[in-house]
Amino acid sequence: MKAILKRYTGVILTAVAFVVFVAVLPQWRDKALGGIVFQASTMLLVIPPIFVLLGLMDVWVPRDQMIKYMGPGSGCKGPVLAFLLGSFAAGPLYGAFPLAAVLMKKGASLMNILIFIGAWSTTKIPMLMFEISSLGPRFALSRLAIDIVGIIIIALAIKAWIPAREVERLYAEAEKL
């Protein structure tokens, strides 16, 4: 019981803040309350397939294969594969985090994980098609080009700045998945 309470401290605090928010600022009340229902239905719709894929990957993908293709010694195969995985994905960015954790558990390197996250956020093919048709090819393609550069810069920076101990801790956490 105490453990559950501790896990849900954040939820309770946020819920209290939310109640205060709608009570003090009535002009946003209806929208915020309606938003919960709408967002819950979209988010709960996205979540099941993500976690099914997570479970299946965890059970079926062999660790040695993952290390070979996306591990620290995978050369340029790793980043390319990470890019492709992220680009052919669908769904919001928060769906990528649990899947990234499975990749971690299976031995993919931090650099490749960060590239996967970056690709999922900005280079998804289905979204790109849609972006081209609504904002024009010049806009969409230049954004894509500069964001690919950004993904690599951000991944390199995080890899360089995160202490080795923290990385070890994250991999140990992923192990518990």
Partner 1 sequence: MDTLILYILAIAALSVSMVKSRKKTLMAAKKAFKAFEGIMPQFIVVLLLVSASLAVLDNKTISRFIGDGSGTFGVLAASLIGAVTLIPGFVAFPVAAALMKEGAGATQIAAFVSSLMMVGVVTLPMEMKYFGKRAALMRNGLAFVFSLAAALFVGWVVGL
- Cβ atoms of 116 and 103 within 8 Å: the answer is yes
- In the bound state with partner 1, the residue whose beta carbon lies nearer, of 11 and 76, is 11
The residue range among 27-35, 64-72, 73-81 that interacts with partner 1, by the rule CB under 8 A, is: 27-35
Beta carbons within 8 Å of 86's beta carbon, 6+ residues apart: 96, 115, 116, 117, 118, 119, 120, 121, 123, 124
**Does 72 engage in binding with partner 1 (CB under 8 A)?**
no
**Does 56 engage in binding with partner 1 (CB under 8 A)?**
yes
* Length of the chain, in residues: 177
**Does 131 engage in binding with partner 1 (CB under 8 A)?**
yes
* Closest of 101, 92, 85 to residue 49, by C-alpha: 92
Question: Which residues within the stretch 105-124 sit at the binding site for partner 1 (CB under 8 A)?
Answer: 114, 117-118, 121-122
Query: Contacting partner 1 (CB under 8 A), which of 65, 139, 172, 175?
Result: 139
**Does 94 engage in binding with partner 1 (CB under 8 A)?**
yes
The residue to which tokens 């229902």 are assigned: 37
- Cβ atoms of 116 and 141 within 8 Å: the answer is no
Question: Which residues within the stretch 2-21 sit at the binding site for partner 1 (CB under 8 A)?
Answer: 7-8, 10-11, 14-15, 17-18, 21
Report, in Å, the least distance between residue 177 CB and partner 1: 6
Query: Contacting partner 1 (CB under 8 A), which of 63, 65, 126, 168?
Result: 126
Element (DSSP H or E) covering residue 162: none
**Does 165 engage in binding with partner 1 (CB under 8 A)?**
no
**Does 86 engage in binding with partner 1 (CB under 8 A)?**
no
- In the bound state with partner 1, the residue whose beta carbon lies nearer, of 8 and 75, is 8
* Closest of 121, 119, 106 to residue 79, by C-alpha: 119
**Does 127 engage in binding with partner 1 (CB under 8 A)?**
yes
Nearest-angstrom CA–CA distance, 98 and 113: 11
